[in-house]
Amino acid sequence: MKYTEEHEWLLQDDDLITVGITEHAAEQLGDVVFVELPEPGAEVSKDDEIVVIESVKAASDILAPLDGEIVEVNEALVENPGLVNEDPLGEAWFFKIKPSDLSPMDDYMDEAAYKKFIG
């Protein structure tokens, strides 16, 4: 698993990357009440705002970590946005992306570096 400075986690499975937010991010947001996901098939560029999360505290965006195509979204989050708080590193993944280039994955933090980052 890799981590971004925007508190996203990235899990690579062959040529697909599953993206979610970290437990730290979920705690900072508080109770999530709404999630808006991108459309499957959408072409995105790194740093595009592609997911909107609203909580009782704030609204936040998830940025695309890589250039590529959204191949799947987690519809369960639309029905039950609270999953983000219950299981941010598991059932509450947001989308799967097929990146046009996997090499930027090398630039993201491993777990030890992320833990140090959030200190």
Residue ranges per domain, the chain? Answer: 2-101
What span, in angstroms and rounded, lies between the C-alpha atoms of 1 and 6?
A: 15
For the chain, the first-to-last Cα distance in angstroms comes to 18
Residue 58: its pLDDT value, please? 87
pTM for this one? 0.94
Provide the residue count of the chain. Answer: 119
pLDDT, mean of each 10-residue run, the chain (119 residues): 96 96 94 97 96 93 96 97 96 97 95 96
Residue 67: its pLDDT value, please? 97
Residue 3: its pLDDT value, please? 98
Structure tokens given for 36? 């808006």
Residue 78: its pLDDT value, please? 94
Residue 76: its pLDDT value, please? 96
CA 108 to each of CA 15, 39, 40, 93, 113: distance values in angstroms, whole numbers, following the listed order: 16, 25, 24, 18, 9
- In the CATH scheme, what architecture does the domain 2-101 have? Beta Barrel (2.40)
Q: Which residues pair with 99 in a beta bridge?
A: 68
Neighbours of 16 (CB within 10 A): 14
Residue 111: its pLDDT value, please? 96
Residue 33: its pLDDT value, please? 97
